[in-house]
Amino acid sequence: MRAYSSLVGEIDFIETSELIRKPAEAPLTRSKLIPRMLSRVPMPTATTWWEVVSLSAFMVFFILYGVTPYFGGAGMGLVGADEPRYAQIAHEMLEKLNHAHTLREQLSAYVTPYLYGRPWLEKPALYYWRAMLVFRDFGVHDWVARLPSVSFALWLVGLTYLHMRRFRPGGHLDAALITAACVGILGFSRGASTDMQLAAPLSIGLLGWYAWYETKSKFWLFDIYFFTAIATLAKGPVAPFLVLLIVGCFAALRREWWIFWRSLWWPGILLYFAIVLPWFIAVQHQNPTFFQEFFLQHNLERFATNRYQHQQPIWYYLVVVLLATMPWTVIAMRALVDGARKSVVEWRIRHARLGKIDSGKVAESQPGDAFPEFLVLWALIPILFFSLSQSKLPGYILPSLPPITILTGDYLFRSRERGLQRWVLGGHALLVGVVTAAVLLLPWFVSHGTKAMPPLHASLVAGISALSAAVLILLVVARWGIVRLRLATCSVLVVLLLFLYGVGPIFWIPEATASKRTIEMLDRVYSARPLAERIQTIVPPSETVAVFRVRRDMEYGLAFYRNHEVANYDEVGVPPEEHVLVVRVAGRGGVDLRSQAALSEYLEGRHYEPLFSWPDQELVVYLVGSR
């Protein structure tokens, strides 16, 4: 034993001596350090690569296809009153910037939005700034006006995937794909409007706030303050109000008021006001009526009165949510109910525990199961709040869609082992079939109205296609399980989008002209672009164009495509010079508006003659002689 100890001691002495005599390693150079660091970084697995590739492909297709002339073609002109109006404001601000000679004039061009040379103070300037930048890079086109919403939608879907992968792995790909592939996000991501400018940053900020709640890292608090500031510049004080309401209700529901007070972080507050205040102060300085017009009229009065004629019943947003979550509505509503039920159960357990234990001695609860509660509150609060408003538009509740799609993705992930209930799976397959039939019959109903039934052959084609889509969903789930439900549903949506927008062009691959009939017909019916192009062949943009009894979308659309304000007979009277006049002769259902008789009174003593009719929108175009 003594000999063994002596031997071990000699070995230790020899090793120690060798270590002492060993020369120090040379310092690592940059060429050696970087490869060593990279070797320690875990490489993405094949599954991760497949997720990223599939998400990118579907996300880009759903959000970009049919928007740009390089990918699906810019088949649809600006629609509604807001799209051409907001695009025209950005165009006029860009022209003002291009004619500015000094730094002060350039900064001033970013402050006040202008429409037809007059200040337009209805909305903050975020959309106009972003549209100005893309107009400067790509030119002033209708499809360029939609790129600000497209880019925010891409950010929303991508960051939803990254957040869920970091904090709720498993359902992250489903959540991101469902977000990109629901009707609400698909529609508003293609709109030249402020709705996506509010919803995307607000949603990204709320996801960042919940990351702070779980990790307690102040790094994530920057998200909520930065992105709420961006959302404020998109639509005003409704952004911080919704954030405070959601966070406050979450803190109250969990009886954790420390959440609310610790969220009030002074570096974040300084960041918020540093982003928001400069524009609000500058626009108020340039326009003394800004406070009254923006805050009082377009925020408080819009909420409390029907001044802007957007009144709807109190249940209006229930219908909007059901339509906006298509074709995932059945699963989404089941996931929302499941999340609400879990929230109620946990609230009761927490309430019973707090009733027995002094709340001052209870440690901060673990937030691992709080995510469904947070998402349910986030989804419901905008819906309930705007349901009380006297002015209702579909885009107001766009911030409620991301939490619903995230709940849906998480619900599908948790259902993989036990499977979906039969009525949920069957209902989803049935709804996908109904959506398929509706899209295929859309051109016929747009052309002939909803009162008449489509012909037998069209109904048979739509019915067979709907049945095939539903059976595809059921067969894929039966063979490969719930994990492939997203792929089957998204594949059906890809086919439907190709039907609507046509095939091609895809970069250098030309389009299939015959497949473009549907989108061309929709463009003639809902956009002013084809009519503006027809008028362009008759009179140059500098000549006067007037309208009489047309819808506001046609009036603003003609003004954008001609880059010139049109004269409205009902507002400014009849222009004295020779001009082209666009008259709406029939209303909904072909009701005669008696425009011809009224036009005779307006133009008494003036020569006018019809040039052509535009039956797609019940319009007649006249040439009116000078006085």
Look at residue 461 and tell me whether its pLDDT is greater than 90. yes
- pLDDT of 298: 87
Look at residue 64 and tell me whether its pLDDT is greater than 80. yes
Confidence of residue 310 (pLDDT cuts 50, 70, 90): confident
The helices-and-strands tally (H runs, E runs) of the chain is 28, 7
- pLDDT of 587: 73
Q: pLDDT digit string (tens) for 76-130?
A: 999 999 999 999 999 999 999 999 989 999 999 999 999 999 999 999 999 999 9
Average pLDDT (570-597) is 84
Share of the chain above pLDDT 90, in %: 73
Supply φ then ψ for residue 421, to 5 degrees.
Answer: -60, 150
- pLDDT of 303: 87
Q: pLDDT digit string (tens) for 156-181?
A: 999 999 999 999 899 999 999 999 99
**Residue 601 to residue 8: CA distance in whole angstroms:** 118
Confidence of residue 42 (pLDDT cuts 50, 70, 90): low
- pLDDT of 320: 97
- pLDDT of 476: 96
Confidence of residue 5 (pLDDT cuts 50, 70, 90): very low
Q: Distance of CA 166 to CAs 160, 336, 416, Å?
A: 10, 22, 20
Determine how many CB atoms are found less than 10 A away from the CB of residue 342.
15
Which residue type sits at 232?
A: T
- pLDDT of 26: 53
- pLDDT of 89: 97
Average pLDDT (599-619) is 90
**Residue 183 to residue 500: CA distance in whole angstroms:** 14
284-307 exposure pattern, b = at least 16 Cβ within 10 A, e = fewer? eeebeebeeebeebbbeebeeeee
Sign of CA dihedral 175, 180, 186, 189: positive
Determine how many CB atoms are found less than 10 A away from the CB of residue 387.
17
Contacts of 85 (CB under 8 A, 6+ apart): 115, 556, 560
Q: pLDDT digit string (tens) for 520-563?
A: 999 999 999 999 999 999 888 888 999 999 999 999 999 999 99
Task: Name the range with the highest mean pLDDT among 347-361, 437-451, 470-484, 589-603.
Answer: 470-484
Look at residue 364 and tell me whether its pLDDT is greater than 60. no
Supply φ then ψ for residue 591, to 5 degrees.
Answer: -65, 130
Confidence of residue 31 (pLDDT cuts 50, 70, 90): low
Average pLDDT (195-219) is 95
Q: How many CA atoms lie within 13 A of 597 on its CB side?
A: 4
**Residue 439 to residue 284: CA distance in whole angstroms:** 47
- Residue-averaged pLDDT of the chain: 89
**Residue 119 to residue 286: CA distance in whole angstroms:** 10
Share of the chain above pLDDT 70, in %: 90
The more confident residue out of 368 and 239 is 239
Confidence of residue 308 (pLDDT cuts 50, 70, 90): confident
Q: pLDDT digit string (tens) for 127-159?
A: 999 999 999 999 999 999 999 999 999 999 999
Closest of 78, 179, 183 to residue 131, by C-alpha: 78
Query: For residue 66, is it left (φ>0), alpha (ψ between -120 and 50) or beta?
Result: left
**Residue 409 to residue 404: CA distance in whole angstroms:** 9
In eight-state DSSP terms, residue 22 is: S
Average pLDDT (203-232) is 95
